[in-house]
């Protein structure tokens, strides 16, 4: 896939590092370039002398870590020497910072004409928004995502994970790959920019287009779908929730048969998609009363046999223990480089021949010396001089800054 491509990942915290990890999962060599005080994500609790931050671990597998002071002449020169041998640079600086640090596309392409520079920003690169802080909750609020999340008439609710940061990372990785393809075919690099705000607005898809086409303002409807019925969650006798999504007439009839209420399929209130949406409260009451008569395992067995689209609502722990998760290798055991113990970590969603099992995330500056020697041709004496000058950071005991 991306084997042989070298990416310099100057990003930190979540969105950018997630993009870097995706590129590593696609086979690229990803070199994480950290400041001398390390990525802040390394210090996000819970963290201890024996436990690395799960926040950091989740988005930094398969990378190498080097530490550079980009404000020092020696640190900046080291980066330039790495850029000369790299295929792409990704970062998440505020819009004005790259030019100030000499990391803008014009400067880096002068060093390496085929370099790809992929930049993630919060809102916009001009005017009042250029320097505004942009955290995940803000972005979910500003983009309208929170207004369609949660129960109808309830308090606005954020998506349960940091969807703004992570979606931005997905877009950043995709843009980087596309620019690498262009660079490969033309020999010229490209500057691509992803706004976290843009990514959230783009993901509104049919809800946004519905309003743009003259429809009503979308609103929160809980687990219920605004245009398809039934598509909701129902409480089973054992207190677990069942998600039902029998989209289309064939699945609707199969659901009614499995519930032992075949007559519901031809009930005038529910006989077609429009009728079911128009009588959604009555439909919810009927289905809710039926689902409440058996426990979730019984229902899931019946629905599975009948091929009715249904699932039990799992907790994160249940999802990670599910046989399908293991079958898809979405959890895997990785050797900790310090202790030698095996640690269970999230797997790689990209499945292709030779899919790599990514290494445990790197200790802080664990690879500074090796990368500068191998990639940039530095000698040990040169690296030692830079370290004494505070231009680069070297590996620390315990892998922490």
Predicted confidence (pLDDT) per residue in 207-231, tens digit:
999 999 999 999 999 999 988 999 9
Predicted confidence (pLDDT) per residue in 121-158, tens digit:
999 999 999 989 999 999 999 999 999 999 999 999 99
Q: Write down the pTM of the prediction.
A: 0.94
What's the whole-number mean pLDDT along residues 374-399?
94
Cis peptide before 354 (omega within 30 of 0): no
Distance CA 96, CA 103 (A): 10
One of 69, 165, 232, 367 is an active-site residue; which one?
165
Nearest to 89 by CA among 209, 168, 202, 8: 8
Predicted confidence (pLDDT) per residue in 242-276, tens digit:
999 999 999 999 999 999 999 999 999 999 999 99
Cis peptide before 155 (omega within 30 of 0): no
pLDDT of residue 251: 96
Distance CA 288, CA 207 (A): 27
Is 165 catalytic? The answer is yes
Q: What is the CATH number of domain 232-321?
A: 3.30.1540.10
From the number of C-beta atoms within 10 Å of its C-beta (0-12, 13-18, 19+), residue 344 rates as exposed
Highest CATH level, class, for 6-203+332-393: alpha beta
Distant-in-sequence contacts of 330-336, Cβ < 8 A, 24+ apart: 332/357, 334/61, 334/358, 334/359, 334/360, 335/360, 336/360
Instruction: Report domain extents, the chain.
Output: 6-203+332-393, 232-321
In angstroms, the Cα distances linking 55 to 60, 108, 308 are 9, 30, 37
Predicted confidence (pLDDT) per residue in 37-75, tens digit:
999 999 999 988 778 999 999 999 999 999 999 999 999
Nearest to 75 by CA among 400, 387, 381: 387
pLDDT of residue 343: 93
């Amino acid at each position: 896939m991306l084997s042989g491509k070298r990416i310099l990942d100057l990003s930190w915290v979540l969105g950018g590092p997630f993009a870097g990890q995706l590129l590593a999962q696609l086979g690229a060599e990803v070199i994480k370039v950290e400041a001398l005080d390390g990525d802040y994500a390394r210090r996000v609790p819970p963290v201890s002398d024996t436990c690395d931050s799960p926040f950091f671990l989740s988005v930094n597998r398969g990378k190498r870590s080097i530490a550079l002071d980009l404000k020092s002449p020696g640190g900046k020169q080291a980066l330039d020497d790495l850029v000369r041998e790299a295929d792409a640079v990704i970062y998440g600086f505020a819009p004005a910072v790259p030019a100030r640090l000499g990391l803008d596309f014009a400067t880096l392409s002068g060093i390496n004409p085929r370099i790809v520079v992929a930049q993630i920003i919060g809102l916009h690169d001009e005017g009042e928004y250029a320097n505004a802080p942009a955290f995940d909750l803000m972005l979910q609020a500003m983009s309208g995502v929170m207004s369609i999340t949660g129960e109808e008439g309830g308090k606005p609710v954020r998506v349960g994970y940091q969807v703004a940061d992570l979606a931005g990372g997905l877009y950043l990785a995709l843009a980087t790959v596309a620019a690498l393809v262009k660079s490969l075919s033309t020999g010229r690099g490209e500057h691509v920019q992803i706004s976290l705000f843009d990514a959230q607005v783009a993901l509104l898809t049919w809800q946004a287009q519905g309003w743009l086409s003259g429809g009503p303002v979308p609103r929160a409807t809980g687990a219920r779908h605004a245009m398809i019925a039934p598509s909701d969650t129902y409480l089973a006798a054992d207190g677990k929730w069942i998600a039902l999504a029998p989209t289309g007439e064939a699945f609707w009839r199969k659901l009614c048969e499995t519930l032992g209420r075949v007559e519901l399929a031809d009930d005038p209130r529910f006989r077609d998609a429009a009728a079911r949406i128009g009588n959604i409260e009555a439909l919810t009451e009927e289905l809710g009363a039926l689902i409440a008569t058996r426990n979730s395992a019984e229902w899931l067995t019946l629905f599975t046999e009948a091929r009715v689209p249904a699932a039990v609502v799992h907790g994160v722990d249940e999802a990670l223990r599910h046989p399908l998760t293991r079958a898809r290798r979405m959890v895997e055991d990785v050797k900790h480089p310090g202790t030698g113990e095996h640690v269970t970590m999230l797997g790689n969603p990209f499945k292709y021949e030779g899919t790599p099992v990514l290494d445990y995330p790197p200790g802080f500056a664990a690879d500074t010396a090796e990368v500068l020697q191998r990639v940039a041709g530095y000698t040990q004496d040169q690296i030692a001089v830079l370290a004494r000058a505070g231009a680069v950071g070297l590996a620390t005991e315990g892998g922490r800054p």
